[in-house]
């Protein structure tokens, strides 16, 4: 199967799988990550076939919705790409990206070895911050029955993935436990540049949030 056909079939498959998903991990999230990855790749390079496939497949089975199984995304990615007849070397590259892309509470010590992995991880992280990131954190929080904010529930920098999975947090705490940390965890120069504005937007949002919360604005 030719590469454009592989991309199209994968795109159609993921769109069907994730359309209507309500936690912020829907098809439109995937589409934005693909666009972010292409934007970063213009300056950082990389194999666009691998980049686009990994961006399309990175949330094919998120551990958060599969009982904490961190291997299921890689497994389903491999099964899908084998079904399409993609070469073993390309499958391995995409699977490695999908397996290690997740934040995991900041405990993910794996460093993306390939430029393609660095680009896709940056593209995914960009969609977790800024105006879109704010919308997604509350969509996800609502789906998980999290409170918007509780001043008595303070943010925690969790030291293990196990603790991160069990954490009963609020949506506002998630800014401090993940979103505001992502700017400094971008892999590429382009990713860091794009993250800066989104990071600053979140800081302004939180400032306004607390003013309204305290009845000062």
Q: How many CB atoms lie within 10 A of CB 136?
A: 21
Average pLDDT, the chain: 90
- Phi/psi for 167 (5° steps) reads -60, 125
Domain boundaries, the chain: 3-213
Is the whole model's pTM more than 0.85, yes or no?
Answer: yes
Query: What's the CA gap between 139 and 20, in Å, rounded?
Result: 13
- By CB atoms closer than 10 A (0-12, 13-18, 19+), residue 73 is buried
Name which of 92-101, 120-129, 149-158 the model is least confident about.
149-158
Predicted pLDDT of residue 166: 64
Domain formed by 3-213, architecture: Orthogonal Bundle (1.10)
Band (pLDDT 50/70/90 cuts) for residue 9 is very high
Q: How far is CA 78 from CA 10, 58, 165, in A?
A: 12, 12, 25
User: Given CA atoms 13, 14, 15, 19 in this order, what sign does their dihedral have?
Assistant: positive
pLDDT at 110 over 80: no
Name which of 80-84, 89-93, 98-102 the model is least confident about.
98-102
The average pLDDT across 170-189 equals 95
Name which of 11-15, 65-69, 160-164, 192-196 the model is least confident about.
65-69
DSSP string, 136-179: HHHHHHHHTT--S--TTS-----SSHHHHHH----HHHHHHHTG
Q: Which tens digit of pLDDT belongs to each residue from 39-66? A: 999 999 999 999 999 999 999 976 565 4
Interhelix angle for 48-57 vs 115-126, to 10°?
Answer: 40
């Amino acid at each position: 199967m030719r590469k454009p056909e592989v991309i199209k079939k994968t795109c159609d498959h993921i769109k069907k799988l994730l359309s209507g998903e309500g936690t912020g991990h829907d098809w439109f999230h995937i589409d934005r990550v693909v666009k972010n990855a292409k934007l970063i790749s213009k300056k950082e390079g990389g194999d666009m076939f691998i980049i686009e496939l990994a961006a399309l497949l990175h949330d094919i089975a998120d551990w958060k919705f599969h009982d904490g199984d961190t291997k299921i995304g890689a497994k389903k990615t491999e099964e899908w790409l084998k079904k399409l007849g993609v070469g073993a070397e390309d499958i391995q590259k995409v699977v490695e990206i999908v397996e290690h892309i997740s934040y995991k509470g900041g405990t993910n010590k794996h460093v993306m070895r390939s430029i393609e992995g660095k680009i896709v991880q940056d593209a995914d992280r960009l969609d977790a911050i800024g105006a879109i990131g704010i919308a997604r954190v509350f969509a996800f929080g609502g789906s998980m029955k999290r409170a918007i904010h509780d001043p008595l529930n303070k943010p925690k920098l969790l030291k293990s993935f196990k603790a991160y999975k069990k954490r009963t947090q609020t949506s506002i705490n998630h800014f401090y436990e993940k979103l505001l940390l992502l700017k400094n965890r971008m892999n590429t120069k382009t990713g860091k540049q794009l993250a800066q504005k989104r990071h600053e937007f979140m800081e302004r949002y939180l400032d306004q949030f607390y003013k309204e919360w305290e009845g000062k604005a």
